[in-house]
């Protein structure tokens, strides 16, 4: 029986997804910056945003994309290039490709990463040439982050910036430069939502510019 396009593009999760959740759970035992929230909340949140684009992205959202979303910080924060090779061995070259594209550092030792600004500028430049699957996961990651910052800003105000290596100006500039990359690539529902969240964050924290 021949299936129509809608049927062939449906997202199905298998035991590979379960294995990826378990893999992430074992290596990400930390908490979100400045909070008591398990880091897994972020990873599952980004994966959920990616899954939510199934049928809306303009291209099929695959299980491998969801797995890459779960593992998007594994290389950058938990082992660098050896971790990337382990991910390739466990989940295949396509997942490894996406995770590499989502990483701003392949350093095995987090203490030897390049300076923040240099890493972010390099990431932005490289992201321009990444395929749509990587851009979508990247946008989901930044949307989750921006929402978390906005929610916490409403609670604790400018102290939120103390959690990061850079303050308000650099963080917002980074978000906006990424937003330009996503928008130029064609955008998505996630990108539109990210635009709204960044705008609200800029407005709510605007008084800091005059302080």
**Any idea where the domains of the chain sit in the sequence?**
10-210
Which two three-digit tokens encode residue 45?
A: 């949140």
pLDDT at residue 33 is higher than 70: yes
Contact 116, 166 (CB under 8 A): yes
What is the band of 209 on the pLDDT scale with cuts at 50, 70, 90? low
Structure tokens at 110: 């987090």
Per-residue model confidence (pLDDT) at position 2: 35
Reading phi first (left if > 0) and then psi (alpha if -120 to 50, else beta), residue 80 is in left
pLDDT of residue 6: 44
47 pLDDT band, cuts 50/70/90, is very high
Query: CB-hemisphere CA count at 13 Å for 6?
Result: 0
Backbone angles phi, psi at 131, to 5 degrees: -70, 170
- As a whole number, mean pLDDT of residues 144-172 equals 92
Q: Which residue in 148, 158, 174, 156 sits closest to 208, CA to CA?
A: 158
Residue 1 has pLDDT above 70, yes or no: no
pLDDT at res. 166: 83
**4 has a pLDDT exceeding 70:** no
Residue 10 has a pLDDT of 86
Quote the pTM value. 0.92
Which pLDDT value is given to residue 165?
78
Sorted by sequence, the CB contacts under 8 Å of residue 107 that are 6+ apart come out as 80, 81, 113, 114
Burial grade of 6 (CB within 10 A; 0-12, 13-18, 19 or more): exposed
CA–CA distance, 197 with 178 (Å, rounded to integer): 13
Question: With contact defined as beta carbons under 8 Å apart, do 204 and 150 qualify?
Answer: yes
Can you name the CATH fold of 10-210?
Hypothetical protein af1432 (1.10.3210)
List, for residues 57-100, the tens digit of each pLDDT value. Answer: 999 999 999 999 999 999 998 999 999 999 999 999 999 999 99
Q: 141: burial class by Cβ within 10 Å (0-12, 13-18, 19+)?
A: buried
**38 beta partners:** 31
Question: What is the C-alpha to C-alpha distance for residues 97 and 19, in angstroms, rounded to an integer?
Answer: 18
pLDDT of residue 5: 45
Helix (H) or strand (E) holding 10: none
Average pLDDT over residues 20-35: 89
- Looking at residue 84, what is its pLDDT? 97
Mean pLDDT value across residues 157-161: 93
Q: Taking 70 as the threshold, does the pLDDT of residue 7 lie above it?
A: no
Mean per-residue pLDDT over the chain, rounded = 91
């Amino acid at each position: 029986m021949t299936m129509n396009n809608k049927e062939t593009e449906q997202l199905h999760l298998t035991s590979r997804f379960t294995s990826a959740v378990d893999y992430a759970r074992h290596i990400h035992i930390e908490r979100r910056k400045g909070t008591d929230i398990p880091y897994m909340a972020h990873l599952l949140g980004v994966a959920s945003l990616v899954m939510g684009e199934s049928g809306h992205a303009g291209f099929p959202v695959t299980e491998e994309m969801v797995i890459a979303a779960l593992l998007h910080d594994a290389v950058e924060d938990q082992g660098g290039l050896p971790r990337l090779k382990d991910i390739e061995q466990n989940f295949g070259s396509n997942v490894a490709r996406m995770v590499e594209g989502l990483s701003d550092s392949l350093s095995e030792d987090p203490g030897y990463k390049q300076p923040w600004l240099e890493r972010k500028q390099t990431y932005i430049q490289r992201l321009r040439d990444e395929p749509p699957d990587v851009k979508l996961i990247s946008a989901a990651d930044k949307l989750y982050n921006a929402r978390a910052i906005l929610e916490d800003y409403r609670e604790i105000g400018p102290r939120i910036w103390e959690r990061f290596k850079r303050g308000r100006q650099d963080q917002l500039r980074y978000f906006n430069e990424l937003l330009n990359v996503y928008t130029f690539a064609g955008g998505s529902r996630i990108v539109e939502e990210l635009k709204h969240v960044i705008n609200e964050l800029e407005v709510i924290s605007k008084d800091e510019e005059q302080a």
